[in-house]
A and B are shown apart, each in its own frame.
Chain A
Amino acid sequence: IRFMLLFSRQGCIRLQKWFVAAGERERRETRRELLTTVLARGPRSSSCLQWRDLSIIYKRYASLYFCCAIEEGDNELLTLELIHRYVELLDQYFGCVCELDIIFNFEKAYFILDELLLGGEVQETSKRVVLCAVEEADDLQVETDVTRRVLQDLGFASA
């Protein structure tokens, strides 16, 4: 996978992950082109389309579009299911995920994606394993947060 984009029906980018080095100018161009291309497609169109020398695989979940670019020879249908697996993970993690969850907890969305995909390749497909990894990290965070709150209450730290 070359890159992954999440964007809303209105064309706001919600998450972007690039697995190949590219300049910001090129990325901006890519985002703009793909947004217009994908948003213009009808509801019963195929989820795959050819864009430059890449295949674009996308799927819409409620108001969010998930969109992956893969190279020739990569498996299209499985990429589609990879998107689905990611959505499942988000869903399970946030408990009925909505766009707002991703906006407010964007860093979490990135962490979950990092567990699933690394350097553009599938790393771990087991839902259980991925969520374990993410929650383990959360536990570490909660510990530090508890101390923080205590300090905050005592007026030693800022909100």
Chain B
Amino acid sequence: MPAVSKGDGMRGLAVFISDIRNCKSKEAEIKRINKELANIRSKFKGDKALDGYSKKKYVCKLLFIFLLGHDIDFGHMEAVNLLSSNKYTEKQIGYLFISVLVNSNSELIRLISNAIKNDLASRNPIFINLALHCIANVGSREMAEALAAEVPRLLIAADTMDSVKQSAALCLLRLYRTSPDVIPVGDWTSRVIHLLNDQHMGVVTAATSLITALAQKNPDEYKGSVSLAVSRLSRIVTSSYTDLQDYTYYFVPAPWLSVKLLRLLQCYPPPEDPAVRGRLSECLENILNKAQEPPKSKKVQHSNAKNAVLFEAINLIIHHDSEPNLLVRACNQLGQFLQHRETNLRYLALESMCLLASSEFSHEAVKKHQETVINALKTERDVSVRQRAVDLLYAMCDRSNAQEIVSEMLNYLETADYSIREEMVLKVAILAEKYAVDYTWYVDTILNLIRLAGDYVSEEVWYRVIQIVINREDVQGYAAKTVFEALQAPACHENMVKVGGYILGEFGNLIAGDPRSSPLVQFNLLHSKFHLCSVATRALLLSTYIKFINLFPEVKVTIQDVLRSDNQLRNADAELQQRAVEYLRLSTVASTDVLATVLEEMPPFPERESSILTKLKRKKGSVSVDVDDGRRTGSVELNGAATQDSLANKASAVSTPSPSASADLLGLGAPGIGILGHSEGPVGNVGTGGASLLVDVFSDMAAAAASSSPQIVGTPPEDNFMKFVCKNNGVLFENNLLQIGVKSEFRQNLGRVCLFYGNKTSVQFQAFTPSVSFSQELQSQLSVQTKPVEPTIDGGAQVQQLVNVECLLDFVESPMLNLQFRYGGAVQNLVMRLPVMLNKFFQVSEMSGQDFFARWKQLSSPQQEAQNIFKATQSMDEEVNKAKLLGFGMALLEGVDPNPENFVGAGIVQSKLVQVGCLLRLEPNAQAQMYRLTLRTSKEVVSKHLS
């Protein structure tokens, strides 16, 4: 055991930690931990009241166990108790436990806000700080609501200690970030701004962060901070490093504050007041000058801190983008860093230069470093640095250097790291298109791209090259020739075959005059690749073949023979078979004129933005791409294109039927049955379900709704939850104020629920906050994302909210929708179940009677079956029942059950992690007006729950 340092009294904890460290194996460790957990649990549960010290010690042990990566599900109450201890250390551990373990949405927050309030009101600044730290660490909405008044008061009160002010400022910042609407910003604007003048540097540092966040959202209110920030900055920059004592870091005066002030200034355009503006320019020049001075220390900390300020100053210069002189100086400075021996500086210089490249003043200056950057691409050892170099090359590229940059990028692509290849391919494709003067160069580049990195060439890229070739007549012959040559390679990438197939199909005639690329040669070349390709590519090639029949009557017979072969006509793949049959028929039945009309050359695509660009943006969070486009919008004129959809449509339009639908259906059927058969083994039993969905539908709707009816304040509403078991759209809730409509869609394990909130009154609803909550258990089973909505709804207006749901595991309860809004003066609260139930994630599965009963028998253990006999409340109409079962989501299997009155259905619950097969049998008894419903599934809960 190491020497325990100052003032540490928890010997028990130290012993426990060394025990854990002495454990030889993972198993031993877990055993030791379980022993300790049992011990703590019994201590907490025991009759003897624990003293504060023991509580603290055990809570601390729990914390340690949690930090080792184990789950802790008790001890929260003990930690909360510690908060109200009057001993500092106990309080401190209590707070630590809360801030590490408590999620921001936990129930416990309500319990602790009292303790926090007490501490905030304490006279002891250390206690106040503990409370503030806790608020900032947890920082939830509930906290913000409970404490919105207290924290600002501490910040601006005249008698608050400096350390408390600092914590209060940052605490407020955290609350403001989580719930800006709760914090009353307007009341203390000028007091907060004037904190920039505070004598205590720590207070200014903390306040600057707060002001920056506030200024981003309310620039006008905080405009006054600009001049204060400039003068504060100027005082720091001109001070010598001895002036600021503790706040000098390795001879750099107050680097953190300087950087924060520079960040604050980036919220605003250059100052209008010439005096302030002049002063700021002086500061910036001063910072640039200091970078040239010899270092005051050899320590890396000194240069890092100094350069951190320099980089931030450069960011501000780029943001202002108004002083060419400063921009060029910044660029030269970064140029020096490009060859610095510190890897970090090279990395950061490349990153900053990307921004400089987008300014018209410094674009040319950046281009001077092209050589160095290309060199970096070749020689840097660290992939993240090379990545930055690629970004910069992309940003500095323009018409004058495009050819060189693109060829360097292609060179690098051959050896590039796999992690960045796809992005590079997209970038090369975009640059080649954007700056192509000569389209033969463009075609060469893209074909090279496919050759060098075919696996990383996404659909967008090869769609795009085809779009461009079709739209530009002058390059069609060249494209056909080049792609024909490229296909000669013994091993060429499938993407090349796709491009080749398409282009030769359209423009093969342009090179057919040359005996080396006669129609037959072209066809044989393509067909030699046919058997190595995937189904999609083969389908494309079949379309090429029928186009060949139209273009070159002389190869008609050869191609017809190919289409007629068993490989095609009896292909196992429905799509290929269909194409072969139809094309063969088309070629024999249709006259040359008809054929020529059907297979006419593709019309040009409408001009659109390149889908590649969209893809890159999606991939990258899009920093560099956006910047780049903003600058040169004039030259971004792309060369004509269509979206991938339209291209895909065109491709399949050649074959008359819609192939995708049939393919999908087959896709559903086959694997579905497999899953039903296999899933029962591994999937175990889980607890029992709550509500019984189907029974409710068939029997008593109202009763079911009442038994689990949500608690609602206000006028009695109508809860229509049960109606949604069998349908997806409708009115979920209605009272005299509000109507909530639902439209939902489910596919596999994903669902999208659109909620429409209609205000039925003529008065605006305020603070309208819908939120979705669910139980602990449901959290692991369902993931729900809600789009935020406007906090107000005008009288008579409707707003909609989108909720995306993903089913992770089978589940029982439904998520709850909580609504809160102000109508007139009164706050309205509504709680209701969201119509998301397990059966929504059913996928129908068709099967024969034999299959059905085979599976039915497999699922014969009692846990897998759930049965319910219940009385009919409505007339037992066959059609209605059928519709309900279909709405329930299962496939109805006709002619399976020997008794024609019975209904039989099958479906699979699709969740992200497991799939659960379900079989259903509903036997109506018309005489007794009863139903018997039997469900067998591979998972016990599911049976119980659904029935």
Residue positions of A touching B, CB distance < 8 A: 13, 15-16, 19, 21, 23-24, 41-42, 44-50, 53, 72-73, 75-78, 80-82, 84-85, 93-95, 98, 100-101, 103-108, 110-111, 114, 118-129, 133, 135-142, 144-145, 148-149, 157-159
Contact = CB atoms under 8 A, between A and B. Distances in A.
Contacts of A141: 7-9, 88-89
Given A75-B259, A119-B174, A137-B88, A105 B4 contact: yes
Contact of B384 (A48, A100, A111, A114): A48
B103 A21 contact: yes
Given A48-B348, A103-B17, A157-B51, A126 B246 contact: yes
B476 to A, nearest CB: 41
Contact of A104 (B14, B63, B105): B14
A148 to B, nearest CB: 6
Contacts of A23: 103, 779
Contacts of A84: 301
A139 B126 CA distance: 12
A124 B129 CA distance: 13
B53 A122 contact: no
Contacts of A106: 63-64, 67
A114 B171 CA distance: 12
Nearest to A121: B209
B344 A78 contact: no
Contacts of B307: 77
A143 B338 CA distance: 56
B618 interface: no
A124 B308 contact: no
B616 to A, nearest CB: 15
Contacts of B96: 107, 110-111
20 contacts: A21-B104, A21-B139, A41-B382, A45-B385, A48-B344, A75-B263, A76-B344, A76-B348, A77-B307, A78-B305, A78-B312, A107-B93, A118-B167, A119-B139, A119-B177, A122-B256, A122-B260, A144-B88, A148-B53, A159-B11
A136 B161 CA distance: 15
Nearest to A45: B382
Contacts of A114: 133, 137
Interface in B169-212: 170-171, 173-174, 177-178, 201-202, 205-206, 209
B348 A45 contact: no
Nearest to A134: B6
Contacts of B348: 48, 76-77
A145 B9 contact: yes
Given A77-B304, A137-B92, A126 B4 contact: no
B385 A46 contact: yes
B775 to A, nearest CB: 15
A19 B99 CA distance: 10
Given A78-B256, A100-B2, A46 B347 contact: yes
Interface residues of B, number: 85
Contact of B9 (A48, A120, A127, A148): A148
A44 B305 contact: no
Contacts of B132: 118
B387 interface: yes
A135 to B, nearest CB: 8
B93 A44 contact: no
Interface string B92-108: 11001000100111000
B249 A81 contact: yes
Contacts of A148: 9, 53
A44 B341 CA distance: 10
Contact of B126 (A47, A137, A158): A137
Contacts of B54: 158
Nearest to B11: A159
A98 B103 CA distance: 31
Interface in B62-106: 63-64, 67, 69, 87-89, 92-93, 96, 100, 103-105
Contacts of B944: none
Interface in B286-319: 301, 304-305, 307-308, 311-312, 315
Given A45-B382, A80-B304, A140-B126, A105 B202 contact: no
B5 A120 contact: no
B857 interface: no
Given A23-B103, A76-B344, A121-B170, 20 more contacts: A13-B67, A19-B174, A21-B105, A41-B382, A42-B382, A45-B385, A46-B385, A49-B384, A80-B304, A81-B249, A81-B255, A104-B1, A104-B2, A105-B5, A107-B96, A114-B133, A119-B139, A126-B202, A140-B89, A145-B7
A129 B246 contact: yes
B12 interface: yes
B139 A118 contact: no
B381 A44 contact: yes
Nearest to B312: A75
Interface string B358-387: 000000000000000000000001101101
B247 interface: yes
Contacts of A94: 5
Interface in B827-844: none
The 5 closest A-B pairs by CB, nearest first: A119-B174, A126-B246, A77-B308, A119-B136, A78-B308
Contacts of B129: 133
